[in-house]
Amino acid sequence: MTATEARAAGRKPAQIVDMSWDPITRIIGNLGIYTKIDFANQEVVECRSTSSLFRGYSVFMKGKDPRDAGFITSRICGICGDNHTTCSNYAQQMAYGVKPPPLAEHITNLGEAAEYMFDHTIFQDNLVFVDFCEAMVKATNPSVLARAENTPAPHADIHGYRTIADIMRAFNPFEGEVYKQALKVSRVTREMFCLMEGRHVHPSTLYPGGVGTMPSPSLFTDYLTRLMHVIDFVKQAVAMNDDVFDFFYEALPGYEQVGLRRTLLACWGAWQNPDVVDYRYDTMNTWGKAMYVTPGIIIDGRLRTNNLIDINLGLRILLGSSYYQDWTNEEPFVTHDPLGNPVDIRHPWNQTTLPHPQKRDFDGNYSWVMSPRWYDNETGDHLALDTGGGPLARLWSTALSNIVDTPYIKTTGHSVKITLPKGESLPETTLEWHIPKWSNTIERDRARPYFIAYAAAMALQFLEEATTLVRAGHTQVFTNFEVPDEAIGCGFHEAVRGVLSHHLVIKDKKIANYHPYPPTPWNASPRDHYGTPGPYEDAVQGQPIFEENGPDTFKGVDIMRTVRSFDPCLPCGVHMYLGNGKTLTTTHTPTYGSQP
């Protein structure tokens, strides 16, 4: 009998308590998680995900010069602004009919590879792993920590930590060896980014048509030197994460149910292949599949499509339980795509943002996030796809498509093999990420260090190809273009935490409509008008609770692990509400474990 079956067979009378975390923040405190928890049966019975902030970029982009779109949209986020600039440039290049020179593509790819390495490292090691560190496990699951003290780490020969508890101690905030080392690695990878894109996180050298970075052998040598300095840390990170996550499955039978949801993953692809991409819509399927991360939609473990044209046409923006008025009675901006396919009124090309502020009502409207969905024309369903935190969907889609075959990355149809060269202390290493059994909290987190390794491996290829071009004298990094009177364009890319699209409509040389859709609206979307919960809600609702604390001292670590596995906003401060009129306010420093 499984742990889930045992729970169902031995259910007790419910003890329901309202518990909420609002805000869960990174830069701005706009994410709230509202739950009902049955402490008698140790499970979450209901969850709502809310956003308290209206941004409005799609409103004030109208009427702007389209060439400014990348610089404006980079301000959408203080974390992944460069991803927005890159994606905006992709959309503009389609609209303008311009193809950047190959060297410009390599420079952009190198910048984005460094961004993945930087952001994933600081998020995983300095923020996510706080929930798995010694201090947190001691406070929430002391019996698990006691077991960890006596459990040898299987990969101690790689990372040097004898037991699982030793690894957990190494991630203790401000004090742990790996915690501090990760901060240094993040600084180095951020320097790598700035070499290519000028500044972080709002790049100054990325433009439609190319880049402003001056290519030279020393530029790429400076990048390579930094990359090789962190290559062994990347290998060790994969080993440490595997050891801890495998231990959690063993120590807490049934933990695979935490954050588990139906496998509905989306990846829009990353890193253009300059030998194939031309940014034309009618060839988008071809150059989309040539990307070094393969786009794809995965339904119940099956690759539904990896055709970017099909992915684009299936996009639907539903109002759901959000604070907006409908726009479907208005004249569409785009009725057909360049191939003559009809474009739905709820497609981003046709969306009009009509904010309607109102009181939060969990039986009605309760979030500023709309409900992006993908329409499956095989079943007629509007699917609440998630990004798996970014890496899980990217690796899963790339593995299933089995297209990517480079000197450092090999796909097999069921896995991705990543080869990293000899570093300062560790030999050449081939890592292999396997498609997991579940789309759950631990597998979202496990995929992250593997994708750091993937980004490092691809950066080596981009460096080799860029250096070859420079040595051959092919140093052009920009292609001139003219802004057309009327055009449409779409850009597909992967922000650090998942799918990113920009849809652009130009009329009279100005922006007539512009809609960026980053990963968080997909992951944090509220219930749509079909009653389908968004991914945060779906993953938390119904999950078991393994924390050993009762209602009065409950920290919600299993819930927070699930939400953070998607890479949303993080806990700069948490205010927690307990039901029956009792309010508990907790004030602390940005990460758990610091003492005043």
Look at residues 365, 371, 391 and name the one whose alpha carbon lies nearest to residue 383: 371
| Half-sphere exposure for 211 (CA within 13 Å, toward CB) | 27
Concatenated DSSP letters of 32-83 = EEEEEEETTTTEEEEEEEEE-----HHHHTTTS-GGGHHHHHGGG-SSSHHH
Put residue 210 in one of left, alpha, beta given phi > 0 → left and psi -120 to 50 → alpha: left
Above 90 in pLDDT, residue 381?
yes
Continuous segment of H or E residues that includes residue 268: none
Q: Compare 588 and 234 and report the one with higher pLDDT.
A: 234
Q: Which structure tokens are listed for 130?
A: 């706080």
What pLDDT sits at residue 28? 53
Residues 6+ apart with CB under 8 A from 541: 35, 44, 45, 46, 47, 533
Range name among 73-87, 169-183, 445-459 with the lowest pLDDT average: 73-87
- For the stretch 397-407, pLDDT in tens is 999 999 999 99
Range name among 14-23, 438-447, 448-457 with the lowest pLDDT average: 14-23
- For the stretch 393-452, pLDDT in tens is 999 999 999 999 999 999 999 999 999 999 999 999 999 999 999 999 999 999 999 999
Residue 514, Cβ density class (10 Å: 0-12 exposed, 13-18 middle, ≥19 buried): buried
Above 70 in pLDDT, residue 68?
yes
d(CA 416, CA 403): 11
Q: Compare 75 and 249 and report the one with higher pLDDT.
A: 249
d(CA 348, CA 87): 15
Confidence of residue 5 (pLDDT cuts 50, 70, 90): low
367 beta partners: 322
d(CA 377, CA 322): 25
Q: Which structure tokens are listed for 446?
A: 């496990």
- For the stretch 301-344, pLDDT in tens is 999 999 999 999 999 999 999 999 999 999 999 999 999 999 99
What pLDDT sits at residue 8? 60
What pLDDT sits at residue 307? 98
Backbone CA torsion sign across 396, 349, 274, 276: positive
Residues 6+ apart with CB under 8 A from 576: 19, 20, 21, 556, 584, 585, 586
Look at residues 235, 257, 237, 252 and name the one whose alpha carbon lies nearest to residue 151: 252
What pLDDT sits at residue 76? 84
Confidence of residue 569 (pLDDT cuts 50, 70, 90): low
Look at residues 373, 386, 501 and name the one whose alpha carbon lies nearest to residue 440: 386
What pLDDT sits at residue 301? 94
In whole numbers, what is the pLDDT of the chain averaged over residues?
A: 93
d(CA 443, CA 436): 7
Confidence of residue 56 (pLDDT cuts 50, 70, 90): confident
What pLDDT sits at residue 23? 75
Give me the amino acid identity at 462: F
The arithmetic mean of pLDDT across residues 226-242, rounded, is 98
Q: Say how many C-beta atoms besides its own lie within 10 A of residue 487's C-beta.
A: 18
What pLDDT sits at residue 370? 95
Q: What percent of the chain has pLDDT over 90?
A: 88
d(CA 277, CA 383): 29
The arithmetic mean of pLDDT across residues 461-475, rounded, is 97
